[in-house]
Structure formats: C-alpha cells, structure tokens
Amino acid sequence: MNTNRPWMNNKRDRNMRGGFRGGRGGPRGWSGNQRGFKSSWGSFDGPSTGNKFQNNYAPNKGQWKKRDTPGKRLSEEDIGVTEYVSKHEGFNGIIKSRYSDFQVSEINEQGEIAKLTCLKPPPAPEEEAVSEDEDLLLSKYNLEILPMETWDKINTLAVSKDPEPDCVEIDMEGVTKEQRTKIHDAVKKAFGDSIVGSTVNIEDKKLMRFQKFKKGVRIDNRVKWTWPAEYVHFIVHKENCDTMDAAMRIAERIGVHVKPSMLGYAGTKDRRAKTSQWFSARRLDPRRFVAATRYLKDIHIGNFTFKNTNLKLGMLQGNRFRIALRNVTASDEVVNTACKDLQEHGFINYYGLQRFGTRVDIPTYNIGLKMLQGNFKDAIELILDSREGPLAGALAAYRAGGAAAAARGLPRRASGPEARVLRALSAAPNDVHGALAQLPRNTRLLYLHSYQSLLWNRAVSERLRRHGLAPAVGDLVPLANIDKEDEFEDEDSDAEENEADGKSDKQQANNSPNDIKTEKQSIKKERTSSQSDQSSVKDKEKDKKNSSKDEEKPKVPVKVLTQEDVDSGKYTMADVVMPLPGYSVDYPPNMLDYYEQLLSDAGLTLDMKHKIKSYRLCGAYRRVVVRPRDVSWRAVRYSDPFADLIASDLDELNNKTIDAIRDDGKYRALLLNMTLPASCYATMALRELLKVDTSSDNQASQNNYHKSRKSSTTEENEGEEKKKKEADSPEKAKGADSAEKTKEADSAEKERANGSEKVKVEHDSEVKLEIEAESGEKRKMLSESEQTEDVKRQKVDK
C-alpha cells in the first residue's frame, strides 16, 4: 500500500490518475510516473512528489495542506497613512467584494482610454507580386554592388552536384548594413533556401559568404515583415490576474521563442480587478496572439494597431476607474456629501498598501532598509523568510547548514531569483553583495523604493499635522511639469532587452560553420559556470548604465514658498509637493528637521548616496494632494451579492446586460467613476471617501454581510410571526403550549420504554439483539453460551 500517496492505493485510481498506466493526470501536486518524469528529492517541504512546485499533499491524511499564510497583515497606520483632507462623515462600503467591482482602463499619452471593442486580428497585408520588370530592376540594382561574375559563381554553386562545393565570399568593406540586407534578400529571392548567406569576420575583414545548403549550415528563416509598422500594439483585457502574469502566459502560448520580456506595457494593473491596457511587441504577427489566447477565459486580446515605437513603463497619462462599493448603509445625503468633497478637495496622495507587501513581520520596506544600510546578509535572510511555496524552508536550511545545504535542498528546476541567490552564496559564502546582485534590478529597486515610499508617507502625515491643509511658508512648488516625471526611474525596459536579444539572435543566424563550431566549443566551456553568473553580468552592466544616467539626471526646479506667496492665494495644496529622499532633490525648509530625524534614526543621510552605485537613490517629487477628474456616481440597489454590477469591456462586446441592478433590491451599492493620474492609488481615494481602513483584512471581514443579514432577518421574521399568533389568539397559543408539553411528555415516556426494552433484550441468554438508534436495524448475534461452545470445539480440534 502506498501510504505517501493515498490516492494511488486503489487500482482504478492508479489507472485514472496519471500513475502506472499514464492516465489523464493526477490531482494538483502530483505528476505521475510518466515518461520523462524526474523526481526532485530533498526539497525543503518534506518528501517530494516529483512536482517542481511545493509538495502540498499531507501524507497519510488524504487531504491537501493549506499553504502557510501570514496571520496579521499590514494596516494603513503601519505605513504612515493617518490623515484625511475632508471632514465629511464616512460610511460603510465594501471595496472589491467581487473582483468585477474594480475595473480599470488605461489612458495612453494621447489621452485615449483603452477599451476592448474588437477581438479579430487585422487583415493580413497582401504580399506584392514582383513582376519581371521589378526583378530586372532588382538585379540591375545588385549589379551595381555585385558584378555579373559573382552572380555566375553563385549560380554555379547552386547547380553544383559536388558533395563538398566551395563557397562564394565577397568583401563587404565600405558596404552599409542596408546594402548587405538588400543583397541577402535578392540572393534569397533568386535561389531560395538552396543558398545560405551569412556575414563573417575573418582576420578583421568583414565578408559575405554564400554556401550551398547542407546539414549543419543554418538557414536564414527570417520572414519579411510586411505589416504597416515595426511594432504591433494591442489591448489586453484581463480578469483577476496581474499584468506580469498575463504577459508570461501570453508569451508561453505564442511559442518557445517568445519571452515575457518581449512584451512591452506602460504600467502594471491590479490583480483583483478587470482591467484593459495596451501591450506592444516587435514584429510578432497579430494572428499568433489571437490563436494563442483563443481558449484563455481570463485574458482577451484585440484592437490591433501598428506603430514605430515600443511601449515602456511610464508611457501613460493615467487610468480610468469604474468601482462598485457594496452594502452601502448610509443615507443618500451622506453619500452625496462625501462624493462632492472627494471631487472638489481630492485626497492625500499616499502610497497604498500594495506598495509594501502584505506581511506585517516582513514588509518590503524592511528589506529595502537593510540594503540601504549595507546589511546585505540580513536582507537576504528577510527575502528568504518571506518566501512561500518550494522555498518556504529555505531560511531554516540556510541558518542550520549554510547556503550550500540550502542550495542542495532546492527543487531541481527552481530557477527564480531567490534560488539564484542561494546558489551564488553556496559558491561564494562571503560574497553576500554578489549574491544579492543575482536578483533582477527591478526587484532590488522594488525593495528600495518601498522604503522611500514609507518615508514619504510618514513625512506627509507629519507635514499635515504641523501645518494643516493649506500651503505654508517653506513648502515646495514645482516650476516644471512633474506629472510626466517617472518617480522611480527604471529606464531599462524589458523590450529593450528583447531588441538586444533579437540582434544577437540575428548575428548567430549569420555565423559561418567554423564560427558555429567555435561557438559550440565556447558554449561548452561556459556551461561550467552557472546561468546565474550570466544574468549577474547582465544586471551589473545594467546597473552601471543606470548609475551613470542617475548621476547625469538634473534636479527638477522647485520654488520655496514665502509668506508673500502664501498670502497671495495663488497656490493650493494640489500644487504642493514633497520629496522622496535622494541626492537630486531639495527638501522643504519647514520639514527638513523631520527628514533628518527619520533618516538619522535609520543610519542614513539626506543624499541617500550609497557606497555601491546601484543602491544610490536620486529621489523625486510627488504631489501631496490629488483631485480626481471626471468624477461621477450613482446609488443602485441589488439582491444577488455575487452578481456583477458593472459591465466590463468584454460584457459590452458580447452584448451582455447587467440584470442584477433592481429597484426593489435588498442591498444598496455606490457606483463611482473617476480618472486618476499615473502612479496614484484609487484605494487611497476610496479611503478618503469612506473614512475606513482599506486593508484587505478589514474589507474581507465585512464581506459576509448577506449571510449575517439573512440569519438576522430569519430570526426576526420567526419572532414576529410568533408574536402575531399570540396576539391574534391567546387561547390558541395557550392550547398550543399545553399540546406541546403533552407531546414532550409522550416522547420522554417512549424513550424510557425503549431503554427498558433494550436492557431486557441484552439479558436474554439465547439471542443478543443490538438496537441501533440511528439506523433502526436489528442484527442477531451469537449468545455468550454459543461463543463458549465454539471456543471449546476449536480446542478439541487442535
């Protein structure tokens, strides 16, 4: 019997669950022992199931284990979010009771709102038929570069039956890349795949080499791009998944040569929501996207266009929000007052809880602080301790047996950043900074910026406590536009890496056989070093590039308000900015002491200049108060707590109507629409509106309102009916009470009779009966005397 995998004990289950006979696949967490299966022993979480993910099955219990989840989560007070702009009365309303209650549409730099209206790919451009005259012109054009004798040599090479024919080499000195491309295209058009062209360097001389196709020579399979522009742009409508996850799944389905980094986007959108945003990709056929995502239920793609620019982070104006707040219990007057205050006065532009992770014991800003303090060992321990899944036990193994022991316990296929950190530490235990450098630069920046955001939140709250909600002497006002300023400059986009990768792929495609052989030998040598070393080099080059950019970044000019400026009434709180600490910002004189105290308590300085350039922060300015644009709202009623209240882009495309909104509904909801600039948190606007803590724990605690109301309503109805009956007929009520008492007495008498009957039967010497209360079945059992006779008989037989 298989005790570790109880579902395999039954023969039928073994056949049906991906076990010995290769069935349809077992439960999640079990891969079966199909061909090519390799188990991964020695993981942190107990005996391996052979799955590359966490062993999530509890042996001998026949049930799945729940993943360890943090108990207490971060609250707004933990991240410095304490103040409000308006003094209106708050009210109850549940945020994201359903993920369909939060819908986001991206607004691009041209002010266009992303809306999915078409799922079909654009018609493919018709390939232009090349006439004989055009062929002659093309040949004539190439005759200016390649003499006729060269064309004759290539033709002779193409028709040759020699198993080892010579190659044709042409000196490319002084020939531009565009001209070389035209020569390649002309040769390929004339001879197809029978002739393979490549550009090679021999003794510092660039040559174009043409060979007859044979096994081992790489064919140039590049297809001519005939679409209107270099980049295809399209809208991705996703439901209940984040942007990076959507990019990964789209890339996986398109093909093995497409990576998530090849997809560009302007910003990341909420996971628990329905969102529409633009993506871009370089030279990928739109039809491939449509075919790849056809069967995805939560991701839909459409509205294809073509542009000559790629999307990068920050290339957007803002986002349009459509939000449903459920179980609103306040009066219309209270709700309307609150919405008008939000529209007119705005909200404090705090960084929301999404910025800081969820665990109160290991928030992301603590990891960022350790990095800024240069305490890389503690930073690594915090990163490992915050992991779940296959790496959940990494920290314990790391502390008990060191990095080498922790690395040995990693699942074989674990290739994430944390796994790379552990493997780097096992190779060089004392190089903690080098190990931390194995994390992608964007991940390291996330930790650093989280700490910056915490400081900004706390500084803004203190500023409002000191000086109130009006501009004060010593405040800062920007003299240049900061709305387009990328607060957290991440000038390296994944799409740029994709272009670099694409160029290297093209160079490899043009290598000669000798070069390929040399390349294979070098690859064989390089395999002795880990892949993480290669990524580390790439990240170090990226860090060097970005550090130089940061040093050259000029300061944004700001004005320090004087008493005269304040008295003029020219400025409002929507004009005031506060700095995120860094070396390229000025600090407001009226808050300089607070910034100094915050940073000195952490062992840091105002300029945030780290001895390692990649950890230096230049800082930025952020508006203290933001007023949402295009605000509208309406109250509705509904009865079904699980029905959608807002039609998504996909719903409108499929002509699906929202039937849940009814005038006679049991519950009230507020439908709120607004537009916010980029990098603003809608949850902070809702906090200002509702005057409640927007943490997920607080919101989840209110999400069973329909159950509590149902039970309370039932009790109330029963009590009212009873009172009504008593009031209508007191005599009947008394008679009913006496009848009920009589019924209870009769049932008690029956129970006593049954008990005496059972005692009597148990003492019967011939037959013992057992009366079972639940089933009422009676079974005959051997009497004690018969059992004794059987025992004696067995002894005699022996």
The larger pLDDT score, comparing residue 261 to residue 686, is at 686
Both 3 and 143 in one domain: the answer is no
Residue 497 lies in a domain: no
Both 636 and 783 in one domain: the answer is no
pLDDT, residue 742, reads 52
**CB–CB of 89/332 below 8 Å?**
no
The larger pLDDT score, comparing residue 432 to residue 68, is at 432
Reported as a single tens digit per residue, the pLDDT across 354-380 is 888 777 778 899 999 999 999 998 898
Residue 662 lies in a domain: yes
**CB–CB of 666/639 below 8 Å?**
yes
> Per the structure block, which two tokens stand in for 668?
């009230």
Last residue within a domain, chosen from 264, 293, 316? 316
Confidence of residue 675 (pLDDT cuts 50, 70, 90): very high
Both 377 and 432 in one domain: the answer is yes
pLDDT, residue 43, reads 40
Both 52 and 187 in one domain: the answer is no
Both 343 and 370 in one domain: the answer is no
Both 550 and 650 in one domain: the answer is no
Confidence of residue 168 (pLDDT cuts 50, 70, 90): confident
User: Taking 60 as the threshold, does the pLDDT of residue 161 lie above it?
Assistant: yes
Residue 726 lies in a domain: no
Both 345 and 357 in one domain: the answer is no
The larger pLDDT score, comparing residue 272 to residue 163, is at 272
User: Which residue(s) pair with 57 in the sheet?
Assistant: 64
Residue 269 lies in a domain: yes
Of the listed ranges 17-21, 152-156, 457-461, the least confidently predicted one is 17-21
User: Taking 90 as the threshold, does the pLDDT of residue 515 lie above it?
Assistant: no
pLDDT, residue 534, reads 43
Output the CA–CA distances (angstroms, integers) from residue 384 to 85, 376, 417, in the order listed: 39, 12, 10
pLDDT, residue 70, reads 47
Reported as a single tens digit per residue, the pLDDT across 587-611 is 999 999 999 999 999 999 998 888 8
Average pLDDT of span 24-42: 39
Last residue within a domain, chosen from 706, 736, 754? 706
User: Taking 50 as the threshold, does the pLDDT of residue 659 lie above it?
Assistant: yes
86-90 contacts, C-beta under 8 A, 24 or more apart: 86/338, 86/341, 86/342, 86/345, 86/688, 88/334, 88/337, 88/338, 88/341, 88/691, 89/330, 89/334, 89/337, 89/338, 89/691, 90/338, 90/689, 90/690, 90/691, 90/692
Residues 623, 578: Cα–Cα separation, whole Å: 6
Residue 237 lies in a domain: yes
pLDDT, residue 451, reads 94
User: Taking 70 as the threshold, does the pLDDT of residue 15 lie above it?
Assistant: no
**Domain boundaries, position 180:** 134-212
Both 166 and 234 in one domain: the answer is no
Confidence of residue 425 (pLDDT cuts 50, 70, 90): confident
The larger pLDDT score, comparing residue 765 to residue 177, is at 177
Both 326 and 450 in one domain: the answer is no
pTM: 0.66
Both 58 and 201 in one domain: the answer is no
**Over the chain, what is the mean pLDDT?**
74
Reported as a single tens digit per residue, the pLDDT across 73-124 is 788 999 999 999 999 999 999 999 999 999 999 999 999 999 999 999 998 8
Both 612 and 665 in one domain: the answer is no
The larger pLDDT score, comparing residue 694 to residue 325, is at 325
Average pLDDT of span 220-226: 61
Confidence of residue 737 (pLDDT cuts 50, 70, 90): low
Last residue within a domain, chosen from 212, 242, 264? 212
The percentage of residues in the chain with a pLDDT greater than 70, rounded to a whole number, is 63
Confidence of residue 744 (pLDDT cuts 50, 70, 90): low
Average pLDDT of span 209-236: 74
Residue 386 lies in a domain: yes
Give me the residue label for tokens 């790496």. Answer: 391
**CB–CB of 545/537 below 8 Å?**
no
Residue 501 lies in a domain: no
The count of domains in the chain is: 6
User: Three-state SS for 733?
Assistant: helix
Residues 701, 94: Cα–Cα separation, whole Å: 10
pLDDT, residue 224, reads 67
Strands (E), 179-334: 195-202, 205-212, 231-239, 263-265, 274-282, 299-307, 318-325
CB-hemisphere CA count at 13 Å for 512? Answer: 15
φ and ψ of 102, to 5 deg: -130, 105
User: Taking 60 as the threshold, does the pLDDT of residue 408 lie above it?
Assistant: yes
Reported as a single tens digit per residue, the pLDDT across 307-356 is 999 999 889 999 999 999 999 999 999 999 999 999 999 999 999 988 88
**CB–CB of 583/608 below 8 Å?**
yes
* One-letter identity of residue 14: R
The larger pLDDT score, comparing residue 14 to residue 448, is at 448
**CB–CB of 694/687 below 8 Å?**
yes
Alpha helices (runs of H) in 569-663, residue ranges in sequence order: 592-601, 649-653
Confidence of residue 721 (pLDDT cuts 50, 70, 90): low
Terminal-residue alpha carbon distance, the chain: 34
Output the CA–CA distances (angstroms, integers) from residue 632 to 90, 112, 323, 775, in the order listed: 18, 19, 11, 63
Residue 54 buriedness (CB in 10 A; 0-12 / 13-18 / 19+): buried
User: Taking 70 as the threshold, does the pLDDT of residue 714 lie above it?
Assistant: no
Helix (H) or strand (E) holding 637: strand 629-638
Residues 26, 64: Cα–Cα separation, whole Å: 13
Both 85 and 48 in one domain: the answer is no
pLDDT, residue 676, reads 96
Question: Between the ranges 12-26, 193-207, 744-758, where is the mean pLDDT highest?
Answer: 193-207
Residue 462 lies in a domain: yes
pLDDT, residue 448, reads 93
* One-letter identity of residue 360: V
Confidence of residue 171 (pLDDT cuts 50, 70, 90): confident
CATH classification of the domain holding 192 = 3.30.1370
> Which positions are catalytic?
270
pLDDT, residue 761, reads 40
Written as one string, the DSSP assignment of 167-220 is -EEEE-TT--HHHHHHHHHHHHHHHGGGEEEEEEEETTEEEEEEEE--TTSPP-
pLDDT, residue 453, reads 95
